[in-house]
Amino acid sequence: MITGGRILVIGAGQIGETVANKLLELKPELVVAHTYTLQEAQEVSSMLSRSVSSSTTLATSWRDLFSPFSLSQVLEESLRDTSENRRVLTNFFYGHLTEEVVQGSTIYQLVKKWQPNVVVDGVNTATVCGYEDDPYTTPRHLIELLGADSSEKTIDLAEKLLLSSFVPKLVRFVQTLYRAMLDFEVERYVKVSTTGLGGMGINIKYTHGDVNEEGMSSGILGKVSAAGVLHQLLWSIAHSPKIDVKIVVPAALVGWEPVRFGKFHSNGSFPKLVDCEVPIDVPFGSSLKSTNGVDLEGYLEIPYVDSGENSAYSLGEMAAITALGQMGSVTREEVADAVIQAIEGSTRHDILAAMDAALLGPSYNAAFQRNVVLKHIADLELAEGAPSIATGNLGPTVAKHLFELHILKAVAGSVENLLETDASSLATKASEFVLGNRQVRRQILSLGLPILLDNGEILLGTYWIVPNSTDNQEVDQAKVDSWARQGWVDLRVSQISSWLGRIKLVGTDIEEKRSSSQVILNRNWQSVVLEGFNVGEILAYVYSMEGGDRKTY
């Protein structure tokens, strides 16, 4: 996977840089080091070029990983923070996941350009997204303005509030990462992540230099929250077919640069040298205001050690945070070794593998009880004379699929009759059934599912889930087709033909499993699925064929 491979290393900071260095020793075909800024890309290129062999191509790139590609190379944040650019960002993070959004994402474009078989992500995503603005500062400021101020300033602040939320950023990143991995057949994605607190609890006062609450800052807890959201999202796509994701999490302070003397970054800037020789009296009730403080020339300079994205630490800070019983420390080389092992397939330091091992998965006991529950529901259907088709609680798409299959069962009677009838005739009968069967029709419309008849006419209740109330309701053919795929019961010939094809494939797949002795334990698919025309079982089988069965570990 490494020798002769193509590897994209995202976030070439101290961990990413060390990983890239170790990868170069293994002589892959290509190593791409991707950074946030051009300066970082140039520095990494200069450092890594010393280790490149003649058989390896080294390339660098730089962009903001979490922005749309069109905005990801804006040099200064001040240039980026314009009303027009905020509109682009809010549309990207909060809009629908269209093909334009997917292909317009930075992660998709990076994978498309470099075609890696392995992606190593060393970006401290939790810090970048969860700490960009803590979950409270901007909302509190906005609350102060609301009710008394509806000015442009309030609108700007509301936009900044939306963009400070890390959940839409992480969701959009993982959505587009998933598509990029599928479209360009990325074999493995290894994420270097964080606990947010170096393995400590929130009783410890370590932050990133801010304190806006008593005790632990809300900023650092935003980072912890972002890490949890990211891990859960990556865990979800890791359970998808053809997707291999591993997460390596150092639970200690990671590595350090050489010790230096001079000015240093603190809370995002170089502290200027300041003094105050004459004390002042600040009476209770008055505002805190400095009258005797003096800005001196130059910056504060002390001996310090740089520790990557956490910046500089003094002797006292370094001694405290790395002490036995506190965070301790792990070298960046040790983290890089764990990443290399994960690339090669080891699950030793993969937290997703540990989460899988601790899962309570499906059980035989529950499978047995499931049959009892299903029979009780079926008995109650007969007793009450009310078909139990869908509640909508698995989403409108699942509900509409179940109703479509139920209607086909009602008009055909059996799978055999269904497959012997042409789609046009079935579409006509299905539409007549809905128009004549008040009970089923009312169930569908009461769940907010419009019904699209074979002639293109629509049965529309008093409300509908798709499109939702904030979507453009203007009707055209493309929108009708999209809405029908998402949550309209579609009885047109094209959809009926689709179901006929799917059900034929179910029968073929069952026969192939039977002939190759791959019959699934305790499931007689032929009788349960097809001969009984069991709507839920057929839909489950179709979903397994089209989307893949759940992974087993």
Q: Is 397 exposed, middle or buried (0-12, 13-18, 19+ CB in 10 A)?
A: middle
Residue 515: predicted pLDDT:
66
Distance CA 251, CA 116 (A): 28
Closest CA to 22 of 329, 254, 339, 257: 339
**Hey, what's the torsion of the CAs at 21, 354, 177, 136, to 10 degrees?**
-100
> Which residues are 188's β-sheet partners?
118
Q: Is 167 exposed, middle or buried (0-12, 13-18, 19+ CB in 10 A)?
A: middle
Q: Is 334 left (phi over 0), alpha (psi -120 to 50) or beta?
A: alpha
CA dist 181 → 107, 109, 243 (Å): 10, 11, 7
For the chain, helix (H) and strand (E) counts, in that order, are 23, 16
Residue 262: predicted pLDDT:
93
Cβ–Cβ under 8 Å, residues 473 and 421: no
Percent of the chain past pLDDT 90, that is, above it, reads 50
Judged against a pLDDT cut of 80, whether residue 216 lies above it is answered with no
Closest CA to 235 of 125, 353, 106: 353
* Highest mean pLDDT out of 30-44, 75-89, 123-137, 535-549: 30-44
Judged against a pLDDT cut of 50, whether residue 522 lies above it is answered with no
CA dist 167 → 226, 338, 385, 423 (Å): 7, 28, 45, 44
Judged against a pLDDT cut of 90, whether residue 179 lies above it is answered with yes
Judged against a pLDDT cut of 60, whether residue 490 lies above it is answered with yes
When mean pLDDT is compared across 52-56, 114-118, 402-406, the lowest value belongs to: 52-56
**Hey, what's the torsion of the CAs at 451, 457, 463, 466, to 10 degrees?**
70
Domains of the chain, start order? 6-255+331-357 (3.40.50.720), 259-314 (no CATH), 390-547 (no CATH)
| CA dihedral (107, 219, 39, 246) positive or negative | negative
Closest CA to 312 of 322, 320, 302, 299: 302
Distance CA 9, CA 20 (A): 7
CA 71 vs. chain centroid, Å, equals 20
